[in-house]
Structure formats: C-alpha cells, structure tokens
Amino acid sequence: MADATPEMPLGSDARSGTASVDRPRVETLIVTLCEAGRSALLRRAIETTLKQERVSASLIVVVNGKRYDPALLEELQRMPGVKSLYQEEPSIFLARRYARENVTAPYFGFLDDDDYLLPGALRARIQVLASDPAADVVVSNGFLHEPDGDSLLLGDIAGLQSDPLAKLMLGNWLATASALFRTATVSADCFDVTLRSNDMTFLAFRLALQRKIVFLDSPTYCKAYSPDSISRTEDWALPSLATLEKMLEFDVPVSIRRALQRKCAAAAHDISAIYLRRGDIRSAWRYHLHSLSIPWGLKRYLGYSRRLVLPLFRHERGTAA
C-alpha cells in the first residue's frame, strides 16, 4: 500500500522527547485471551505488525485472564519483538490501561487479536503525526471484512475532520485498530478503567473534546468480527447506558448534550428489551421508565409500555401465589 502522505524526513519530535530516526519506534498493543482457538488470528496480528517497513515496530501483548493456552503463552514469551504481560483479572478495560502504562515508544496503537495491519500502515500514520506537531492522534480508514466482501469503515472524511464530536453522535469512528497515538499527549489516564462497555467510543469522545485528531482516508487495517466478539453480545450492551451517562458529565455543546440524551433513551429502551427477553420483567420496567424520563424517549417509546403490562401482571400474580 502506498503511503497516504508524501514521504518526508521524520524530523525530531520535541513533544515525544525522542530524536529523529529513519525508522521511528512504534508499539502495537494487543489484549488477548490467548486461547488456542484464536492462535492463528493472534499470530497474524503480530506478524503484520512486525513486518511493517521503515519503522521499528514492536508489540505489547497483554494476556487477559485465566483462560489462556499455556503453549500459546509460552510461544508469545519467546517471540522476538513481543513483550508479553499477564493480567489475572479478565477485563479489557484494565488490560488496555495496563498495556498503555508499559509503552516506551513515542507512538502507539492498538489491535484486536482478530485485526491486522496492511503494508505501510504504521509509516503512513507516523507521517501524519510527524507533519503536524500539534496533532495527538491520527485515525485512519480501514476495511471491514465480511462474508460478502470488504467495505470501507469510514465515509465523509471531510465531515469527520470538520466536526468529529458531532459525527460521533451518529456512530463510532474509532475502531480499536484505526488509530495511532502520540505517547507524550495521550497518557494512560485517557483509558478509563471504570467503564464496562464502549470504551473506544468513550475514548473517541474524550479525544474529540480534548485533543487534536487528524483523519486519514487511506485504509491501513482490516477488521473482522469473530463469532465470539464481545462487542456484539447482550452483556456488552447492558452497561452501555452507564458509559453514555458518563459522557453527560462533561461540558459539551447543547446540541451534543441533546444527542447524548437521545442515545441514553435509546440505550435504556434496548436494555429494557433485553431484560424482557430474559424474563426479568422488573428490570425491563425499570429501564423502560428510564427511557420515558427523557422527553425524546417519552415520545418514541411510550407505546412500548403495552408490551410490558401483561408480563408484569403475570409476574405479580405468580409472586402473590
């Protein structure tokens, strides 16, 4: 893949505190369960990082929890260019923070263990940061791999660059593999370990408010959703409302606050539906009432109350019996 920006010397970066080199150092951070069934995917992610040209690339791999395959962990520990760490408590949020705390290179980025980098990806991203010393993060386009073919993940790059916060209200543009961060200005504190869902969306929100982001239209990675991807599970959806409500604690423009409130109402409604399917009628009602407490949600979801009345009646009659 050709670099997205014209080739230029990567001059000294005062903000990173490191001298200019022809092969700038960059670290890729991977959090993995290190299970035998994902070994081929993990090896691919590592290989596509170490084969990046005109950079000095290495990896920090955090083995997340006790389900790891001992043979695969031992293989990771022997791999040149890979620093393997172990975290006993299985938490993607703690693990990403742990990985960031171990970064020593002037640039870093993340990969899920089922993602992989395209040739020239890291050099192209570094070029963007090197050409704009004020930039804190570059977010690149990428391919979503699906059974019926590949498609680009980002559209309207000009709109994203113009107002990333407003665009975030329409959908998350920060995939795990999409970004390269400047170590000096994106600290470990940017990775909130109190979250239980949608941590990359929350990070995008903070970056859009507090840092300078540059968007790169060239695709630099490929993403695929595994059948067991946690981000597509109900257990990932249930804590999503708390993440949105945490965003409301920030000082944001009125239009963004209204958009977040609508998202909160929609998330509460979705959670109510999950609990209804699970037969937990009290929790279904609790989140339904939460959705109605927001004016936009009252207009949109009031009619849904009818679907909860009969299950509640049956539940209460069963409890009384």
Domain end (from 231, 265, 286): 231
Confidence of residue 225 (pLDDT cuts 50, 70, 90): confident
* Other Cβ atoms within 10 Å of 88 Cβ, number: 9
User: Is residue 29 located within the same domain as residue 93?
Assistant: yes
Residue 120 has what pLDDT? 98
CA distance to 144, 173, 239, 273, per residue, from 267 (Å)? 25, 19, 9, 10
- Of 177, 207, 231, which one is at a domain's C-terminal end? 231
* Digit-coded pLDDT (tens) for 181-200: 999 999 999 999 999 999 99
Residues 224, 307 share a domain: no
**191 and 70 together in one domain:** yes
| Sequence-separated (6 or more) residues with CB below 8 Å from residue 31 | 61, 62, 64, 92, 95, 96, 99, 110, 112, 113
Band of the pLDDT at 12, cuts 50, 70, 90?
very low
* 192, 206: one domain: yes
For residues 173 and 268, state if they share a domain: no
Residues 251 and 172 reside in one and the same domain: no
Res. 19: pLDDT tops 90: no
- Residue-wise pLDDT for 268-312, tens only, equals 999 999 999 999 999 999 999 999 999 999 999 999 999 998 876
For residues 93 and 203, membership in a common domain is answered with yes
What is the predicted pLDDT for the residue at 73?
A: 98
Question: Which of the listed residues 170, 205, 231 is the one where a domain comes to its end?
Answer: 231
Q: Give the pLDDT confidence of 79-133 residue by residue, as tens digits.
A: 999 999 999 999 999 999 999 999 999 999 999 999 999 999 999 999 999 999 9
- 227 band by pLDDT with thresholds 50, 70 and 90: confident
- Decide: 7 and 127 in contact? Cβ < 8 Å: yes
The pLDDT tens digits of the residues spanning 145-180 come to: 988 899 999 999 999 999 999 999 999 999 999 999
The stretch 73-77 carries a mean pLDDT of: 98
Across 181-194, b (16+ Cβ under 10 Å) vs e yields bbbebbeeebbeee
Same domain, 178 and 260: no
The number of distinct structural domains making up the chain is 2
Residue-level pLDDT at 10 = 60
| Structure confidence by residue, pLDDT tens digits, 256-272 | 999 999 999 999 999 99
Q: What is the CATH number of the domain that holds 62?
A: 3.90.550.10
Q: With cut-offs at 50, 70 and 90, classify the pLDDT of residue 313.
A: low
Instruction: Evaluate if residue 68 carries a pLDDT over 60.
Output: yes
Q: Look at residue 230 in the predicted model and tell me its pLDDT.
A: 81
Residue 3 lies inside a defined structural domain of this protein: no
- What pLDDT, on a 0 to 100 scale, did the predictor assign at position 315? 64
Instruction: Give 317's pLDDT tier (boundaries 50, 70, 90).
Output: low
- Provide the pLDDT for residue 4: 42
Res. 226: pLDDT tops 80: no
Q: Over 90: is that where the pLDDT of 231 sits?
A: no
Confirm whether 13 is domain-assigned. Answer: no
DSSP letter assigned to residue 126: H
User: Where does the pLDDT of residue 18 fall: very low under 50, low under 70, confident under 90, or very high at 90 and above?
Assistant: very low
Cα 286 off chain centre by: 29
Q: Check whether residue 151 and residue 277 sit in a common domain.
A: no
Instruction: Using DSSP bridges, classify how beta strands 213-224 and 116-117 pair: parallel, antiparallel or unpaired.
Output: antiparallel
pLDDT on residue 194: 97
Domain carrying residue 247: 233-320
pLDDT at 238 over 50: yes
Does the pTM exceed 0.95?
no
Name residue 185's amino acid: T
Q: Do 242 and 174 belong together in one domain?
A: no
Same domain for 112 and 202? yes
Please indicate, yes or no, if residue 20 is contained in any of the structural domains.
no
Question: Is there a domain that residue 137 lies in?
Answer: yes
Residues 280 and 294 in one domain: yes
* Mean pLDDT over the full length of the chain: 92
